[in-house]
Amino acid sequence: MNNNEFIPLMVPDIRQEDIDAVSAVLRSGMLVQGAKVAELEAKVAEYIGIKNAIAVSNGTSSLYLALLALGIGKGDEVIVPAFSFMATANVVELIGAKPVFVDISIETFNIDIILIEKAITRRTRAIIPVHEFGLACDIKEIICIAKKYNLKVIEDAACAFGATEDNQYTGTFGDVGSFSFHPRKAITSGEGGMLITNDDELARKLRALRNHGIEIKDGKTEFFLTGFNFRMTDFQAVLLISQLTRLNEILEYKDKLAQAYFTGLQDCDKLKLPLVPQNKKHTWQSFHVVMNDDIDRDALIIQLKERGIGTNLGAQCMPFQKFFIEKYKLNCSKLFPNAMKAYLKGLVLPLYGLLDENNIRYICSALKN
């Protein structure tokens, strides 16, 4: 991309081969869930090394189905980080349970594991740890806490398809993992989501719940549950299959651009760079920095836009948003100081395959100026 052109926050890298693959499906006339969805599920399961992958309509419906399939509902509490995209807390509320918010680390933007046990009550049924911006949270320690208190773990890996902790893929640690294929993710189908699990019975329920409760047994259709239509289409699936073949290349390139940001901003004392622990592989869904308290982040977004650079805030302090603040009336500055700081001072910089290191240098110098 030319530095004289506007550099948007994100442009999906859809190539001719992806378009050709989608065109072929469109010409086939098969426009709903079919063989291509099944092929994608098999390929994702093989890539991740998991028994079951279940494609769904997006990363919100996937979280909702996970809660439903695990039997979580009215009267239950579910622990979520205070800082994430709203979907993480919305699904808990929509299922009839209560989201219990826990503050994050301001260095990794992931849930602060030290605070989790204090948030557990006799009503707690599950934890939804988020791998924020594509960096694995301290998932192994979270699994230990969950085992101790007999809690289910739904990994919200919406941004973290391909991320690892100790070489193990995010989404494979808990009872179930959830991914999103929204256009800001490493590979995209426009809208799209995926659930993964090694639990065959849970997978059976999830498959039925996304498709009206249907199961085909001995060639006969049985509606053994009440379900939704949360299906992915075959043309979305084939778009993902096509990009999946270059996922490793995409992630490596994104890491190279992230390193260019680290180099370009290392001497900038007006912001804090993200921390990436040694044992974790980041997918860089977002390169998220935190501006110093004296910087007006919103004014900075406008100034950068005037210089031809698209940036945005990273995610929300969820309990601070209108619905939750009115319902639970939590003192967010006191209870979630790091989530509030990330929400008010966090800034996401452009990072995607259509950019090069020259663009990153340009963005760094504009930011520093």
Ligand X SMILES: Cc1ncc(COP(=O)(O)O)c(C=O)c1O
* Binding test (CB under 6 A) with ligand X, winner from 41, 103, 156, 175: 156
- Is 188 near ligand X (CB under 6 A)? no
Could you tell me which of 214, 208, 342, 180 has the C-alpha nearest to residue 271? 342
Span from 52-60, 144-152, 208-216, 337-345 in contact with ligand X (CB under 6 A) = 52-60
Q: Binding to ligand X by residue 159, rule CB under 6 A?
A: yes
Q: Are 291 and 297 in contact (CB under 8 A)?
A: yes
Q: Is 317 in the site for ligand X (CB under 6 A)?
A: no
- Least distance (Å) from ligand X to the CB of residue 166? 22
Size of the site for ligand X (CB under 6 A): 14
- For residues 149 and 120, the answer to whether their CB atoms sit within 8 Å is yes
The gap between the terminal CA atoms of the chain, to the nearest Å, is 21
Q: Which is nearer to ligand X, 59 or 174 (CB)?
A: 59
d(CA 285, CA 296): 24
Residue from 127, 130, 135, 136 touching ligand X (CB under 6 A): that is 130
Work out which of 36, 125, 182, 254 binds ligand X, going by CB under 6 A. Answer: 182
Tell me which stretch binds ligand X (CB under 6 A): 53-61, 247-255, 321-329, 341-349: 53-61
Instruction: Determine which residue in the list 158, 318, 340, 360 makes contact with ligand X, applying CB under 6 A.
Output: 158
> Please, what is the angle between helix 59-69 and helix 87-94, to 10°?
40
Residues 274, 267: contact at Cβ < 8 Å?
no
Q: How far is the CB of 176 from ligand X (least distance, A)?
A: 14
CA atoms of 79 and 134, how far apart (whole Å) = 20
- Please give the sequence-ordered ranges of beta strands (E in DSSP) within the chain, or none if there are none: 52-56, 77-81, 83-84, 98-102, 124-127, 152-156, 164-165, 168-169, 176-180, 193-197, 214-217, 220-223, 271-272, 280-281, 287-291, 316-317, 346-349
79 contributes a contact to ligand X by CB under 6 A: no
The answer to the question of residue 193 lying near ligand X (CB under 6 A) is yes
Amino acid at 73: G
Q: With CB under 6 A as the contact rule, which of the stretches 4-12, 153-161, 222-230, 336-344 interacts with ligand X?
A: 153-161
Q: Is 55 in the site for ligand X (CB under 6 A)?
A: no
How far from 66 is each of 61, 91, 354, CA to CA, in Å?
9, 10, 34
Is 59 one of the binding residues for ligand X (CB under 6 A)?
yes
Contact pattern for ligand X over residues 82 through 111, marking x by CB under 6 A = --xx-xx-----------------------
Interface residues toward ligand X, by CB under 6 A: 58-60, 84-85, 87-88, 130, 156, 158-159, 180, 182, 193
